[in-house]
Structure 1
Amino acid sequence: MTTQTAPAAKDLSTPQTGRPPHTTAVSGGTAGADQPAPDRGRTSIADVVVVKVAGIAAREIPGVHDMGGGLSRTIGAVRDRVPGGRANVGRGVKVEVGERQTAVDLDLVVEYGVSVMDVARDVRENVVDAVERITGLEVVEVNITVNDVHLADEDDPENTTGSRVE
């Protein structure tokens, strides 16, 4: 009876990192009692976390009236009027979240009279700062679409100027 031995496994780790080539270190990804406490285990961040952080950060900027497309804003307005209903801070926000990076897409409605480019720049800066600070993920891009301009008299239900009937 002959026995075969398996060939010795090649060590594919790189001398600098100790990890196989073309891999990304994940936050904490080691285990063992010999590791410091902050390095034991793995941290993953759900998409909804980034959505909420980005939505709140975008709404903090003066000149942003609302977020989302027409249909989502209509549904959101109905939802906001329901007793006990909460505003959806994620409306108008889409994200892609990887292990270390994220990309954010925002749909905005800006106030009439403000510079759209200035508001977009300020929103982009605030979103990048908030997401990176709170989640630790690198924000690779923030794409902004301005869907509408809010006029001050659009919210005034008593504004009847121009009405032909009484």
Structure 2
Amino acid sequence: MSDTMPRGGTSTSTTVPRARPQEGSLVTEQGRTTIADGVVAKIAGLAAREVAGVFDMGGGTARALGAVRGMVGGDRNATQGVQVEVGERQAAIDLDLVVEYGAAIPDLAGAVRRNVIAAIERMTGLEVTEVNVTVNDVHLPEQPRGPDGSGQRESRVQ
């Protein structure tokens, strides 16, 4: 028996097949796909806003500027309250949220995180390494209207 043949008489190959790029990979032998930070930020912003309990996004100044921009241009900025860092294969996301009063913030943050990760990974193929959520404000329901509809309640004392 030859020392290149195992006991069973069959030949075994020591050549390992070349790994093929993962389906949907951004870096392949045929080229590279680059996804702009703004694309990832827009996906993250839209995915975060889909979660019930998220009232708005951004800090106070960003929301005020966004409201003015919305009145002038009629278009809300989907990236408001979103900061991203995008590499060749990974992305990290920071979100600033305004939540509805009564929402359980830890549960809401978890739901936002899951939705953002799923959307970015599905749409871009990037691995999301972290999603940091900062709650900047709580949106209170409208104050009860007074009997005259003015928004002022009746005085409790005379």
Against the structure 1 CA distance between its residues 135 and 163, is the aligned structure 2 distance closer, same or farther, given a 3 Å change threshold? farther
Structure 2, gaps ≥5 residues long: 1-15, 20-24
CA distance in 2, matches of 1:51, 1:78: 21
TM-score, with length taken from structure 2: 0.75
In the other structure, the counterpart of 1:161 is 152
* Partner SS for 1:113: coil
Alignment of 1:6-155 (within 5 A): 27-28=27-28, 30=29, 40-82=30-72, 84-153=73-142
User: Distance between the aligned counterparts of 1:89 and 1:132, measured in 2?
Assistant: 18
Larger radius of gyration, structure 1 or 2? Answer: 2
Matched residue SS, 2:32: coil
Moved beyond 4 Å, runs of 4+: 15-18
Query: What are the Cα deviations for residues 75-128 of structure 1, in whole angstroms up to 9, with x where unaligned?
Result: 11111112x431100000000000100000000000001101111010000000
When residues 142 and 77 of structure 1 are mapped into structure 2, their CA distance, relative to the original with a 3 A threshold, is same
Question: What do the CA deviations read for 1:23-66 (whole angstroms, capped 9, x no partner)?
Answer: xx9612x3xxxxxxxxx222111100100000000000000000
Identity of aligned residues (%): 56
TM-score, normalised with respect to structure 1: 0.72
Distance 1:144-1:159 versus aligned 2 partners, 3 A rule: farther
Aligned position for 2:11: none
Instruction: Decide whether aligned partners of structure 1 residues 88 and 99 sit closer, same or farther in structure 2, where only a CA change above 3 A counts.
Output: same
Distance 2:32 2:98 in 1: 38
- Cα drift, residue 16 of structure 1: 9.2
Q: Which runs of 5+ in 1 are unaligned?
A: 1-14, 19-24, 31-39
Question: How has the CA–CA distance of structure 1 residues 69 and 159 changed in structure 2, closer, same or farther, with 3 Å as cutoff?
Answer: farther
